[in-house]
């Protein structure tokens, strides 16, 4: 069943990409200001907020449908191997509203429903965030976001029951103009207050990669990533997490 899901996922994304021109033309004819995008990612490990959810490779497909500032996202993660005993399969439904205040600042609010089918558990999370498209005053083209998450899922159902604060920055340097190939850098700092912990913990991370266009609507992005836990997140009596270096490749499309 799991292999069938992976095959269907790949077939779905390939079909979406193949139909992109037709779909774009149809939206234009219907005069609907709807944006559709998505990706299918492959990672050597599944790392989430400093937690190693799977030491095996995973495939993570997603699709986003946006209109008038609202976005519905479907995202999933499927175990591509069976070398460990971790049950990490996950299906998420995310509802987001983002408003641009000006060309510098945007704010977002949203809700995520996490479904863990292998363990028959789930969780729910509210979030609010603010993002900057560049560094003010200095006008450096570094995107930065600060997001606060509140997991209100009950632990008996698989919920985290706590808060998480995430500070993320990214920068892309253009290596070639035509086609535009970029070298990408990202940093992450997260503070965890009792989400799947009894105490408090931190996690930090960095990412390095490239974005390479394959067509007008399709890009591929290989990355190398590093994640490190701190505080209770690495405490053997609590989170018991370890540093991880993992690689990935993302195939992203837009209609």
pLDDT at 31 over 70: no
- Residue of 48, 52, 23, 17 whose CA lies nearest to 35: 23
In this prediction, residue 11 carries a pLDDT of: 53
In this prediction, residue 146 carries a pLDDT of: 98
What is the rounded distance in angstroms from the CA atom of residue 92 to the CA atom of residue 114? 5
The tens digit of pLDDT for each residue in 105-122 reads 999 999 999 999 999 999
The tens digit of pLDDT for each residue in 66-96 reads 999 999 999 999 998 777 677 789 999 999 9
Confidence of residue 1 (pLDDT cuts 50, 70, 90): very low
In this prediction, residue 224 carries a pLDDT of: 98
CATH number at residue 244: 2.40.160.40
In this prediction, residue 91 carries a pLDDT of: 96
pLDDT at 25 over 70: no
Where would I find the H helices in the chain?
2-18, 20-30
Which domain covers residue 205, as residue numbers? 2-254
The tens digit of pLDDT for each residue in 138-156 reads 899 999 999 999 999 998 8
Q: Count Cα neighbours of 244 within 13 Å in the Cβ-side half-sphere.
A: 25
pTM for this prediction: 0.88
- Residue of 142, 163, 139, 136 whose CA lies nearest to 151: 163
Instruction: Report the number of distinct structural domains present in the chain.
Output: 1
Report the pLDDT averaged over residues 166-193.
Answer: 97
Backbone angle region of 4, left / alpha / beta, with phi > 0 → left and psi within -120 to 50 → alpha: alpha
What is the rounded distance in angstroms from the CA atom of residue 40 to the CA atom of residue 109? 25
What is the rounded distance in angstroms from the CA atom of residue 38 to the CA atom of residue 62? 5
What is the rounded distance in angstroms from the CA atom of residue 235 to the CA atom of residue 34? 46
In this prediction, residue 22 carries a pLDDT of: 52
């Amino acid at each position: 069943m799991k292999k069938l899901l992976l095959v269907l996922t790949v077939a779905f994304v390939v079909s979406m990409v193949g139909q992109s021109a037709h779909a774009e033309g149809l939206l234009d004819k219907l005069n609907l200001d709807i944006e559709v995008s998505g990706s299918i990612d492959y990672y050597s490990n599944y790392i989430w907020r400093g937690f190693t959810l799977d030491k095996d490779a995973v495939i993570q497909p997603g699709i986003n449908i946006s209109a008038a500032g609202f976005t519905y996202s479907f995202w999933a993660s499927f175990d591509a191997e069976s070398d460990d005993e971790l049950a990490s399969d996950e299906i998420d439904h995310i509802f987001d509203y983002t408003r641009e205040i000006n060309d510098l600042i945007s704010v977002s609010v949203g809700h995520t429903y996490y479904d863990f089918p292998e363990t028959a558990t789930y969780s729910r999370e509210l979030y609010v965030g603010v993002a900057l498209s560049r560094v003010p005053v200095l006008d450096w083209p570094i995107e930065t976001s600060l997001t606060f998450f509140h997991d209100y899922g009950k632990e008996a159902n698989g919920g985290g029951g706590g808060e998480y604060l995430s500070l993320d920055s990214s920068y892309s340097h253009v290596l070639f103009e035509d086609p535009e190939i970029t070298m990408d850098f990202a940093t992450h700092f997260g503070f965890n207050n009792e989400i799947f912990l009894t105490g408090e913990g931190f996690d930090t991370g960095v990412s390095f990669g490239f974005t390479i266009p394959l067509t007008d609507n399709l890009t591929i992005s290989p990355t190398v990533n590093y994640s490190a836990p701190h505080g209770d997140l690495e405490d053997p009596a609590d989170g018991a997490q370890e540093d991880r270096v993992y690689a990935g490749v993302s195939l992203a499309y837009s209609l």
